[in-house]
Homo-oligomer: A and B are copies of this chain.
Amino acid sequence: MTKGEETSNEALGPVSLSDLERFCREVLAAAGADDATVDAAARAMMHGTRLGVDSHGVRLLDHYVTALTHGRVNPRPHLELTHESGAIATLDADNGHGARAAYYGMEQAIRLAGQSGIGAVAIRNSSHFGPAGAYALAAAEAGLIGVATCNSDSFMRLHDGAAPFHGTNPIACAVPSGDNQPWLLDMATSAITYNRVQLYKSLGQELPEHTASDAEGQDTRDPEAASMLAPLGGSQGFKGAGLAGLVEIFSAVLTGMRLSFDIAPMGGPDFSTPRGLGAFVLALKPDAFVDTATFEGGMARYLEVLRSSAPRSGASVMAPGDREWAEAERRIREGVPLDPATSSAFARLAETYGVALPRDA
């Protein structure tokens, strides 16, 4: 069977989420990843796929296997807190998987916040970490407010700029909300992600206004002409660029790691050299600041009034995360369809590693 050929036109699914996770875990382990890396990378990808953030879901598995088996990412890293003092620590991730580094970093931030009310960890020598929201959510699941940021290779122009400068530089924040699902913001500081441009291209649709630019930095709605992303904000794009800068400073300058424009492209061709990525995670313990009843009452009232705020005609209003939690409920019930490219890669990985493909939901 020639790799990919027989399968490239056939999409899998909808497949069961739990068996999809089993597939990811078996493939990562067969590719040489240690248990902690398997756990973290599968958990992060499944966060993306479960919540409908498919750009940061299981489509990354093939990429991660390449990175883990060619030297870019250390499949068996020795993570070390090289420095800890008061409420902060510096974590050297030994060029391990970004999800392994970020989950471990957030665990340490949570521990520090347990002692000091707040905890921050600067992560060094990490790699692509996928969905920033996964690590913020890990804090919220432990009852804390979590924040996670990471820079990436250059995709976004500056305001009034004509060259890629920042990465898509996401900010994620998750806030526990009593018995309800956490409030969950996970956003690129670019107007949209590069993956969205690719999606519009494949659909033959126009891009939303002021989201991407041509090679001269002029905004374009033609995905074929798009050569860089616009910062969030359109005419007020200096704000999106400023937020991207904030992420850059926390993720790269405060960690001593590479600035976006110095990071090798995610897509290769070099898959053998670690990329020197930094990241930053922060946890805050709400009951260190205010009693639990006041905090939970505040979140409940905030979300209740938000969800009943008047919508524009024909539209509806939502809190950050509402769309994702609803999609997760649906996918847990119905499974998830896989796109043709991912299905093809999975068929190849299944054959290479002798692992059974994920079964239908």
CA–CA, A357 and B171, complex, Å: 47
A115 at the interface (CB under 8 A from B): yes
Q: Tell me whether A256 and B290 are in contact (CB under 8 A).
A: yes
The CA of A310 and the CA of B246, in the complex, are separated in Å by 20
Closest B residue, CB atoms, query A301: B259
Which stretch (A4-12, A56-64, A268-276, A315-323) binds chain B? A315-323
**Cβ 8 A contact of A284, one of B83, B183, B191, B254:** B254
* CB neighbors of B among A161-202 (8 A): 161-163, 165, 171, 173, 175, 183, 185, 187, 191-192
Indicate if the CB atoms of A191 and B245 lie closer than 8 Å: no
1/0 contact string of A74-99 vs chain B (CB within 8 Å): 00000000010111101000000000
A210, B191: Cβ atoms closer than 8 Å: no
Tell me how many chains of this kind the complex includes: 2
* A245 B160 Cβ-Cβ under 8 A: no
A192-B236 contact in complex given A120-B284, A299-B249, C-beta closer than 8 Å: yes
The residues of B that contact A245 with a CB separation of less than 8 Å are 183, 185, 302, 306, 319-320
Q: Which residues of chain B have C-beta atoms less than 8 A from A238's C-beta?
A: 318, 320
List residues of chain B with CB within 8 A of the CB of A125.
none
The secondary-structure label for the interface of chain A is mixed
Q: Determine whether the beta carbon of B88 is less than 8 Å from that of A298.
A: no
| Contacts A86-B87, A256-B294, A259-B298 known; 20 new A-B pairs at CB < 8 A | A83-B289, A85-B117, A86-B115, A86-B118, A87-B116, A87-B119, A88-B284, A88-B288, A90-B289, A90-B290, A120-B284, A160-B315, A161-B317, A183-B245, A208-B236, A216-B312, A216-B313, A255-B290, A259-B302, A261-B305
* Closest 10 pairs between A and B when the two form their complex, measured CB to CB: A86-B116, A88-B117, A160-B315, A253-B298, A87-B87, A208-B235, A217-B312, A87-B116, A163-B310, A185-B242
By a beta-carbon cutoff of 8 Å, the part of chain A in contact with chain B is: 83, 85-88, 90, 115-120, 122, 145, 158-163, 165, 171, 173, 175, 183, 185, 187, 191-192, 208-211, 216-218, 232-236, 238-243, 245-246, 248-249, 252-256, 259, 261, 284, 286, 288-291, 294-295, 298-299, 301-302, 305-306, 309-313, 315-320
